[in-house]
Structure 1
Amino acid sequence: MAHRMIWNQTAYFGPGSIAEIPRELVARGFTKALVVTDQVLVDTGVTARVTTLLDEAGFAYEVFSDVAPNPPIECVQAGVAAFATAGADVLIAVGGGSPQDTCKAVGIVTANPEFADVRSLEGVAATRNRSVPIIAVPTTAGTASETTINYVITDVERQRKFVCVDPNDIPLLAVVDPEMMATAPRALKVATGLDALTHAIEGYITAGAWELSDLFHLKAIQVIAAALPGAADGDDEAMERMAMAQYIAGMGYSNVGLGLVHAMAHPLGAFFDAPHGVANGILLAPVMAFNASSSAEKYRDIAAAFGVDTTGMGIEDARQAAVVAVAALTESLGNPTTITEIGASEADIPALAQAAYDDVCAGGNPRTATVEQIADLYRSLL
C-alpha cells in the first residue's frame, strides 16, 4: 500500500524566527502581500510584529483583518475580493486556526475561481491549481494549519461546518515562532493545546495511521502532555515545546486523517459557536473510551506517553489508564467537561448526531459509530 505524506516546502522554528519573513519574500520574487489576520490580533499588536518587519524592509502590503472565529463563507469571499483589490501576489496568514483557514480558502478560490461559492470545496476538492503562495505564521499552538492540507469553513445559512481537504492549499512557508503565541490568553492556550492533543491522539489511532505517522503522533502526545500545563501558565520554554509539538502532530494527522472527536466537535462549533479546541477537550476522553476496544495496544502507548507506568498492566487497565490520564489533564486545565456549558440541550442532540455522522472526519474513526451511538455520546455529556 502506498502512503502519501505532504508537508511545507520550508519551515522555520524558534523564538524570533519571524525575522526570516522579509528575506524569504524578496528571495522568492514576491512584490506585495495581503496579510490575513483578525481584529483582536491587530488591536493587541500581535499582527504588527510581522507588519513592522515588512515596513522596515520596505515590502508593500495591505491588511485584511475581517476574519471571524469559525470563519464563515462570507469571510472567505470578502478576503478573495480584498486580495484582488490589493493587487498582491502572496498571502501572509497571521493568527490561529481561523485566520489560517480563511487564508487557505482565499488562496484556493483566487487560484481556482470556479469554486467561488466556497461550499463546493467541501471534502476532497477537485481543484487544479495550487493556492496563491501562503506564508503561514501561527499565533496559537494548536491547529497546525500552517502544515496541513485541511481547512474548515462555516456555512452559517445551513448551520454547519465543513472540512476541505486539498493538497493544493498547503502553505509554501511556515514560520513557527513561539513568541507569537506567548501573549495569548490562558483560556486560548488551553483550548488550542487540547486541539493539538486531540490531533495527536486521533491521528495515532485513526484508520489511516501507519508507522511514519505514528512516530509523529506519539512524540507529539508525549510533549503536549508534559508541556501544555506550563505553556498555559506562561512558561516560555514550555510554549516553545508546544509550538513544536502541535506542528509535529499536524505533519501526521494532515496525511492520515482524524476521527469521531472532530466529527462531533464540528457541529458544536457550527450550532453554538463553541471554540473548536474547547469542544475537542470536552469530547476527547469520552470518545477515547468509546474507541478503546478498537485500538489494540495503542492506548498503552498513549498512557506511557502521559508518564503512566504500564509495566505488567493488562490491556484493559492500560486502555483505562490512557482515558483517565487525558480526562485528568483536561479537568486540571479548567476546560469545560459538558456540552451543556457551551449551550447544548437534549433537544439539540438529534441534529448534532446526524451532523457528526455526516462529517468527513467520522470516516477515519477506528470504530464505526451509528447515529444512535453518537447521540448517546452527546447525551452522556449533557
Structure 2
Amino acid sequence: MSRFTIPRDIYFEENALEVLRSFEGKKAALIIGGGSVKRNGNLTRIQEHLAAANIETEVLEGYNTEPTSEMVKKGAKDLESFQPDWIIGIGGGSAMDAAKAIWLFYEHPDLSFEDATKPFELPRLRTKAKFAGIPTTSGSGSEVSNLSVVADEKTNIKYPLADFELTPDIAIIDPIMIENLPKHIAAYTGMDAFTHTIESYVAKPRTVYTNILAIGSAEVIKDNLLASYQGDQEAAKQMHSIQAMAGMAFANAVLGNVHSLAHKSGPTFDIPHGYANAIYLPYVIQFNRAVVEDRFADLARRLKLEGETDAELTDALVEYIYQLNKDLGLATTLQEFGVSEEDFNEHLDTMAKNALEDPCTGTNPRETSFEQMKDLYKASYYGKDALVKA
C-alpha cells in the first residue's frame, strides 16, 4: 500500500493571501525570519487579513537562520502564555522549518529532541493548533511537506523531523511574497526545488503520483529558473507555484544522498541548504546512475536534452546541471565555494558517517557505504567525477 499526503487546501497565484480572511480561530502565532517581510509590508497585510477574521496575532521573529533544537523549544515555550490555535510559518525554508518544529513542541512540550528525530514516529498534532505555511522564497516546498530540518546545536548536525503529522493544513503560495527576491536567493532556492524533482523521481519510495509531479515540475523549472534569476517576474511567479509541486513530490517519495550530504555539511561549512544541493547534485547523479540511469534518461528526454542512449542522456543531464550552476553564479565544487582543504579533511570522516545515518540515505536508489559517502564528498570537493562512477 502506498500513501500520498499533502495539505488539505492549497491557495496559490495572485491574491491568495485573502483566504486568511476566512480562517476560523481566535489567535494566530506568526513565525517569521528576518525583517524583509516587515519592511515590504507583507506582514502587515497578513495581520490585516487575520484581523478581518477576528483573529488576534502575535509575532515570533528572528528565525532567519537554520533552526536549532534549542531555538525551537524556546519558541514553543514563548507561545505557552499566548495559546494560539493557528501557527503560521512565514518565510523561507528556515522560518518554515522552525515554525513546524515550534508547533510540534508547543503541542508536546515534554517530547525530547532525540525522539522527535525518529522518522514517522511523532505523536499526533492538532490538539492545540493547526498549521499554515506562507513561503517567501521559491524552493523549500516546506509549506506542503511533512519535513522540518532542525540542527542539534551541541553537535551542529542537521536532522530531518519527518512525519505526515507535520504536513501543514493549509498552504498559501502568493507571488506577492517573492517580489524583488534577491538574485542569489532565487538561484539556490531554485536549485533546491530542482534537486527535489530529480531526487524524488529516482527515490526508492517513488509512486506514479510522485513521478508525474516530479518530472512535470522539473520541466517547468528548466523553463523558468534561469529567467527568474535574471529578473523575469513572470518566470518568478511560475517558480513560486511549481516549487510547491516539487515539494509534494519529495514529501511523498522522499529524497536521497544529495540531501544527506547537504544536511551534514551545510552547518559545518556555512553553506545555504539549496546551494549545497546544487553542488552535490551532479556528483550524486553520477553515483546513482549505476542503478537508475534509465530514469535519469527519462528526465533528460523530458527536459529536451540531447542524446541517443540512456548513458548519453544522463551525461547530458549532468552537464546541464554543471552549466546551470555556473549560469546562476554558483560554485560547482566545495573548494570553489571556499572550503579550505584543511577544514574539509578535518571533517570528512564525521560528515560521511553522519550522512550515512541520515534518513534520506535510506531512500537513495543506490545503497551507499561509508567509503562511498566519503568518495562523494571528495568528488564534490575536488570536482572529480571518476570517484563516484564505479
Residue by residue over 1:100-155, the C-alpha shift from the partner in whole angstroms, topping out at 9 and shown as x without a partner, is 1111111122222331x333210324333224301110111111111111110011
Q: Does 1:316 align with 2:311?
A: yes
- Structure 1 35/79 Cα, relative in aligned 2: closer, same or farther at 3 Å? same
Deviation at 1:41, TM superposition (A): 3.0
- Structure 1 342/6 Cα, relative in aligned 2: closer, same or farther at 3 Å? farther
**Contact conserved, 1:41 with 1:47, CA < 8 A, in 2?**
no
Alignment of 1:90-105 (within 5 A): 90-105=86-101
Structure 2 partner of 1:127 = 122
Residue by residue over 1:219-264, the C-alpha shift from the partner in whole angstroms, topping out at 9 and shown as x without a partner, is 0110111110111222221112112211111111111110000000
- Equivalent-residue separation in structure 1 for 2:19 and 2:285 (angstroms): 40
- Equivalent-residue separation in structure 1 for 2:356 and 2:248 (angstroms): 26
- Equivalent-residue separation in structure 1 for 2:64 and 2:183 (angstroms): 20
**Contact conserved, 2:119 with 2:359, CA < 8 A, in 1?**
no
Structure 1 partner of 2:16 = 17
Structure 1 partner of 2:76 = 80
- Between 1:288-297 and 1:222-231, the stretch displaced more is 288-297
Alignment of 1:42-191 (within 5 A): 42-45=37-40, 46-55=42-51, 58-115=54-111, 117-131=112-126, 132-191=129-188
Structure 1 partner of 2:387 = none
Secondary structure in 1 aligned to 2:143?
helix
- Equivalent-residue separation in structure 1 for 2:249 and 2:157 (angstroms): 26
- Equivalent-residue separation in structure 2 for 1:302 and 1:289 (angstroms): 14
Structure 1 partner of 2:218 = 221
Residues matched between the structures, number: 374
Deviation at 1:316, TM superposition (A): 1.3
Structure 1 partner of 2:375 = 376
- Calculate the TM-score normalised by the size of structure 2: 0.92
**Contact conserved, 2:14 with 2:176, CA < 8 A, in 1?**
yes
- Equivalent-residue separation in structure 2 for 1:83 and 1:147 (angstroms): 23
- Between 1:295-304 and 1:98-107, the stretch displaced more is 295-304
Deviation at 1:342, TM superposition (A): 4.8
- Stretches of structure 1 lacking an aligned partner (at least 5 in a row): none
- Equivalent-residue separation in structure 1 for 2:51 and 2:182 (angstroms): 27
**Contact conserved, 1:66 with 1:75, CA < 8 A, in 2?**
no
Structure 1 partner of 2:385 = none
Which of 31, 34, 48 aligns to 2:26? It is: 31
Structure 1 partner of 2:347 = 348
Deviation at 1:183, TM superposition (A): 2.2
**Contact conserved, 2:25 with 2:55, CA < 8 A, in 1?**
no
Secondary structure in 1 aligned to 2:10?
strand
Deviation at 1:317, TM superposition (A): 0.9
**Contact conserved, 2:293 with 2:311, CA < 8 A, in 1?**
no
Alignment of 1:189-228 (within 5 A): 189-228=186-225
Secondary structure in 2 aligned to 1:147?
coil
**Contact conserved, 1:134 with 1:171, CA < 8 A, in 2?**
yes
Q: Does 1:253 align with 2:250?
A: yes
- Equivalent-residue separation in structure 2 for 1:331 and 1:346 (angstroms): 25
Secondary structure in 2 aligned to 1:184?
coil
Secondary structure in 2 aligned to 1:295?
helix
Deviation at 1:380, TM superposition (A): 2.1
**Contact conserved, 1:142 with 1:194, CA < 8 A, in 2?**
yes
**Contact conserved, 1:11 with 1:173, CA < 8 A, in 2?**
yes
Q: Does 1:332 align with 2:331?
A: no
- Equivalent-residue separation in structure 2 for 1:112 and 1:187 (angstroms): 37
- Equivalent-residue separation in structure 2 for 1:209 and 1:221 (angstroms): 15
Secondary structure in 1 aligned to 2:151?
strand
Secondary structure in 2 aligned to 1:71?
coil
Secondary structure in 1 aligned to 2:81?
helix
Deviation at 1:58, TM superposition (A): 4.9
- Equivalent-residue separation in structure 2 for 1:321 and 1:123 (angstroms): 38
- Stretches of structure 2 lacking an aligned partner (at least 5 in a row): 382-390
AA aligned opposite 1:329: L
**Contact conserved, 1:95 with 1:140, CA < 8 A, in 2?**
yes
**Contact conserved, 2:76 with 2:109, CA < 8 A, in 1?**
no
